Amino acid sequence: MNSGRNSRMVGFGSFAPDQAVDNLELCNRVDTSDEWIQTRTGIKSRRIASDHQPTSELALRAAQRAIESSGLKLGEIDLVIVATITPDMAFPSTACILQHKLGLGKVACFDIEAACSGFLYALDVADAMISSGRYRNALVVGAEKMSSIMDWQDRSTCVLFGDGAGAAVLSKDGEGPELLGFFCGADGSNPSLLCQPGGGSLNPATVDTVEERKHFLKMNGREIFKSAVRVMESASRELLGRHGLNVEDVSHVIPHQANVRIVESLSQRLEIPLMKFFCNLEKFGNTSAASIPLAFDEGLRKGHFKAGEIGLLVAFGAGLTWSSTLVRF
């Protein structure tokens, strides 16, 4: 193993379910409008998985593409991490279910739960495990079936989210975007800002919790909006500072795809022109842990990122959590 090198993303892939639901279709379900959704969020459409597509199925399709593009054999993957807040079940982990579906060996598998920051948290953990020398090739997946925890009677949340998955294969051997550094943080002081209150040990499932709609995502959108801009700016500046880089050194920002107004505010605060931000949220909505890898994969496939350029990936999510990652293409 080449222990002197940084880890690289030697394979990448993503998957979104076929069914696209546009804003007009949502108007049949809740009291909303295409105009409201587009002006407040920038979202035009989102993909919704079928009843037969749990999160592990979305993860499977993205992972197969990532492994194929890495050129590695299944037997060479020795670690699987899935970032998700919509696991197939509370346990076992979606990573274990994915291991079996992929036909991998009996390798280490676990999930990471850091909401929309989950994929970047998982990259940090996978890189550390590879750098320890105990693992060689890690499959890192961000996958979500957000539609499974949407309250389709709550117009303030159900218009925002979508389903999808993205995956990377990390290794110190091989070529691909180089992982230069990571930064993760969290503030657990106010979990109710964004949560799914029912179904855990605090509010186990009962007829009452179901009737009270506690098994759906709840969010204070306005407060999350303000926190998101603040923590994404600080996570970006912290990581750039640690690596002696300035905002001018960044060629591309791949932000968490939650809301175009959050992206615009971040662009202003960081003084990085909006044209450097890669976004596809108008097509997919907020896919939580899948959002950054879905955007990153599209940028890679379109040849949007040139060799040697620096990319900044930055996310925030429930927790609150935040995370940033620097890559060199």
Active site residues: 116, 256, 286
* DSSP letter assigned to residue 86: S
Q: Which residue has the tokens 């492994």?
A: 67
Decide whether 44 or 136 has the Cβ nearer to ligand ACO: 44
- Please, are residues 85 and 161 in contact by the beta-carbon 8 Å criterion? no
List C-alpha distances in Å: 263 to 50, 133, 269: 30, 37, 10
Binding flag, residue 112, ligand ACO (CB under 6 A) = no
d(CA 141, CA 84): 8
Determine if 101 is a binding residue for ligand ACO (CB under 6 A): no
**Binding flags for ligand ACO, 37-76, as an x/- string (CB under 6 A):** x--xx-----------------------------------
State the number of binding residues for ligand ACO (CB under 6 A): 23
Phi/psi zone of residue 97: left (φ > 0), alpha (ψ -120 to 50 degrees), beta? alpha
Indicate whether 83 belongs to the interface with ligand ACO (CB under 6 A): no
Stretch that binds ligand ACO, among 52-60, 63-71, 155-163, 184-192 (CB under 6 A): 155-163
Q: Which helix (H) or strand (E) holds 267?
A: helix 260-270
Q: Tell me the per-residue interface mask from 214 to 253 with ligand ACO, x by CB under 6 A, - otherwise.
A: -----x-xx-xx--x-------------------------
Residue 318 lies near ligand ACO (rule: CB under 6 A): yes
**Which of these ranges, 88-96, 154-162, 167-175, 242-250, lies near ligand ACO under the rule CB under 6 A?**
154-162
d(CA 162, CA 111): 20
Pairing status of strand 137-145 against strand 252-255:
unpaired
If binding is defined by CB under 6 A, does position 317 make contact with ligand ACO? yes
- Could you give the CA distance from residue 185 to residue 314 in angstroms, rounded to a whole number? 12
Query: What character string, x for contact with ligand ACO (CB under 6 A) and - otherwise, covers 8-37?
Result: ------------------------x---xx
Q: CA-to-CA distance for 196 and 236, rounded, in angstroms?
A: 28
* Two structure tokens written together for 265: 């505010």
Does the footprint of ligand ACO cover residue 186 (CB under 6 A)?
no
When the beta carbons of 69 and 286 are compared against ligand ACO, the nearer one is 286
Cβ(169)–Cβ(72) below 8 Å = yes
Site for ligand ACO in 188-217 (CB under 6 A): 194
Q: Is 253 helix (H, G, I), strand (E, B) or coil?
A: strand
Return residues touching ligand ACO (CB under 6 A): 32, 36-37, 40-41, 115-116, 155-156, 159, 194, 219, 221-222, 224-225, 228, 258-259, 286, 288, 317-318
